[in-house]
Structure 1
């Protein structure tokens, strides 16, 4: 049964990501058709075509490698111009030949009546809308799915009932550096264990104050380092009074939202604070609709931090994959890693089924938010590269108009094909590294 649930979790996320990719391409397809651009193909996947059907002037299909998709529009590359502004018929040099070959292949798809249906002839704002449509669709999917989770199911909120008790205290920095999870003889005993606290106990008082909120209790514990403090627990029908002495150790700084404060690299900021070594149970608590967009914003901020530090993050992944260093649970991962996490969530019998379903939906939503951010990177062949090219064209033309100079014409993205190929190769290498790391050193988010 556990294996079947694992497989179902993987399939759920795989289908969710495939549908997200298909809808991403719809985000390009619809505005392109509305603006009159002739779209020759709408494909989900790459490689050999498994299935296709032509409807009107567009071929819709599914390809063998489910690693993305594309919408093929005519007129992506403007004709080359010489120094005199005239169309140049030939060029020399490897890079120039690459651009010329791309332009030739694009031109061969033209049909009579296509002159006013070329993508590069669209006004800049329409080109931006077409290219932004895909990432925007991922953003909408992410918002909707996270909204379903937060409002329909609820978010996991800590209760005052104890879920687990640590045997010892291991500094957070030591865990991050060594990946240590087991106790060593030199590690001090956790204060919660020393106080006789057990999983299932409910904390009702701390230092004479009634306990109704786990986060409030956490702040009291952090401020009580080194102080012997009375604590009252309920264990079944029994009330237990004892004392506990929080130990001063390295812990993440908590913000106003009770979450760890992250630095510019996305790593938690640390401080010395009281710690007892016990964790709470959680229960799903539905949130108001007004909380959805702030949560999406926090998610986007965290993803953006990872993207902005992607080279260092990938270096950390490579180090972990080829050494004993642990994987960063907040670092990038491939669809293999996402699928594995989905399977593990689904197979965890100790988690209620509604919480597992909510986690899977939230996982697909987070993937869509990551696709939104990643596709906006201003490099070709990503959507952000096309958007940057269109905006640069608008700047050039406005500057020329301001100084009464000749119109410089459209930006020739064909000349950037060598850079495009280089970025594509880097993306393939990044994907291969992440897949390898997710197989030999997977991210462990469940302890």
Structure 2
């Protein structure tokens, strides 16, 4: 037993669990706050707002709402008066009941849970972009033998300053230009310490002084090689490479608040696009279902992100927040998307669906979600066993 405990605490499992709890709690509480604030604005009585689930550890009633911290710190919940359409209410309470709202108001309350997930992600990303994020500089960290870069004489530590006359300083710009001009020979502007140029083809062009000198830029010509591989969706792709890897030299690039906000918006949209495209690829059978990850994978990724620093950890929270917001909009009973679908049906029919139908639909939805949870958890376990 002692050995098991020592193994548990010495491994990264504890960090993974703690990071997972923080990630889920922040995202779910923010999601529930979206429901809470809109319900309050529309006059619906909010009976409970809890941080966590299970037995209440601390609770305090402020006004008509009981605020609580519960034992299981995995998110939280909001309880609205009249969520159960068959709940018996006094005439006074009926006026403030969720079930008696117009379908449009029901839609707003339900919809703003996922909306707040997107807002949370946008706020986090705006802060990250305004504070500055590490940008890889175009400094060569490794040159692969047998590839064009090695044949042309590139060396570890070289700084690539231009591609075909276009000035660059970021590694991402270098990679983009290699893809753009890869069909033909490209001219790279290179800076390197002169005293590191010995025994190299470029050395013939450099005056050896014995001192580190980056004062001159030299052009070398490289013909990129076209290679094939698989992208993150396991689709076959081709790309041009010259056989180099970046160093870990970075520079922090911050933005003003408006630029950071715009960058945050673009990043949220990119995450939404990747998520939707991943779902499409899964449905189309182009991604195996065994690639789906569940709570164990999220916990492991949470721990990994936390170990990389606050910026990476909060970026991960933003990504998961967008994913949860988007998935909650899927029209599955028991998710927000299912309630939104019921609201639209009520608008069209001009009367609500029967409580019995909604109850049965919710049971089917919960059963589906539980089976999905078991399936992705099985994937996680098998993935860990194999590795």
TM over 0.5, shorter chain: yes
* Structure 2 counterparts to residues 273-288 of structure 1, below 5 A: 273-281=239-247, 282-287=250-255, 288=259
Answer whether contact 2:164 2:186 (CA < 8 A) is retained. no
**Structure 1: gaps of 5 or more residues:** 79-102, 168-188, 253-259, 261-265, 319-326, 349-355, 398-408, 443-447
In the alignment, what sits opposite 1:178?
none
Secondary structure of 2:123's counterpart equals: helix
Distance 2:377 2:23 in 1: 19
In the alignment, what sits opposite 2:324?
371
Q: Post-superposition shift, 1:140?
A: 1.2
In the alignment, what sits opposite 1:200?
157
Answer whether contact 1:41 1:59 (CA < 8 A) is retained. yes
In the alignment, what sits opposite 2:341?
388
* Structure 2 counterparts to residues 3-402 of structure 1, below 5 A: 11-12=18-19, 14-46=21-53, 48-55=54-61, 56-78=63-85, 103=86, 106-107=87-88, 110-111=89-90, 113-154=92-133, 156-166=134-144, 189-195=146-152, 197-204=154-161, 212-222=169-179, 223-224=181-182, 232-235=190-193, 237-239=195-197, 241=202, 244-250=222-228, 267=233, 271-281=237-247, 282-287=250-255, 288-289=259-260, 290-309=262-281, 311=283, 316-318=288-290, 327=291, 332-347=292-307, 356-397=309-350
Structure number having the greater helix percentage: 2
Distance 1:34 1:208 in 2: 58
Distance 1:209 1:130 in 2: 51
The 3 A distance-change label for structure 1 pair 419 and 165 is farther
The 3 A distance-change label for structure 1 pair 230 and 131 is closer
Q: Post-superposition shift, 1:14?
A: 2.6
Secondary structure of 2:192's counterpart equals: strand
Distance 1:45 1:429 in 2: 23
Q: Post-superposition shift, 1:434?
A: 2.7
Q: Post-superposition shift, 1:54?
A: 4.8
Question: In terms of mean alpha carbon deviation, does 27-36 or 3-12 score higher?
Answer: 3-12
Q: Post-superposition shift, 1:359?
A: 0.8
In the alignment, what sits opposite 1:438?
380
Q: Post-superposition shift, 1:338?
A: 2.9
The 3 A distance-change label for structure 1 pair 19 and 420 is same
Distance 2:237 2:379 in 1: 31
Matched pairs, number: 348
Q: Post-superposition shift, 1:66?
A: 4.6
Q: Post-superposition shift, 1:64?
A: 4.5
In the alignment, what sits opposite 2:211?
none
TM-score (norm 1): 0.66
Secondary structure of 1:11's counterpart equals: helix
**Structure 2: gaps of 5 or more residues:** 1-8, 203-219
Distance 1:306 1:270 in 2: 15
Distance 2:130 2:17 in 1: 24
Secondary structure of 1:163's counterpart equals: strand
Distance 1:36 1:311 in 2: 41
In the alignment, what sits opposite 1:185?
none
The 3 A distance-change label for structure 1 pair 309 and 118 is farther
Q: Post-superposition shift, 1:275?
A: 1.4
Distance 1:67 1:19 in 2: 9
The 3 A distance-change label for structure 1 pair 50 and 160 is same
Answer whether contact 2:52 2:69 (CA < 8 A) is retained. yes
Q: Post-superposition shift, 1:360?
A: 0.7
Answer whether contact 1:6 1:344 (CA < 8 A) is retained. no
Distance 2:183 2:10 in 1: 44
Deviation string 1:381-421 (CA, Å, 9 cap, x unpaired) is: 11111122112211222xxxxxxxxxxx3233541323322
Q: Post-superposition shift, 1:220?
A: 4.8
Distance 2:109 2:75 in 1: 17
Question: In terms of mean alpha carbon deviation, does 283-292 or 17-26 score higher?
Answer: 283-292
Distance 2:344 2:124 in 1: 31
Secondary structure of 1:42's counterpart equals: strand
Distance 1:138 1:206 in 2: 41
In the alignment, what sits opposite 1:323?
none
TM-score (norm 2): 0.75
Q: Post-superposition shift, 1:31?
A: 2.5
The 3 A distance-change label for structure 1 pair 410 and 161 is same
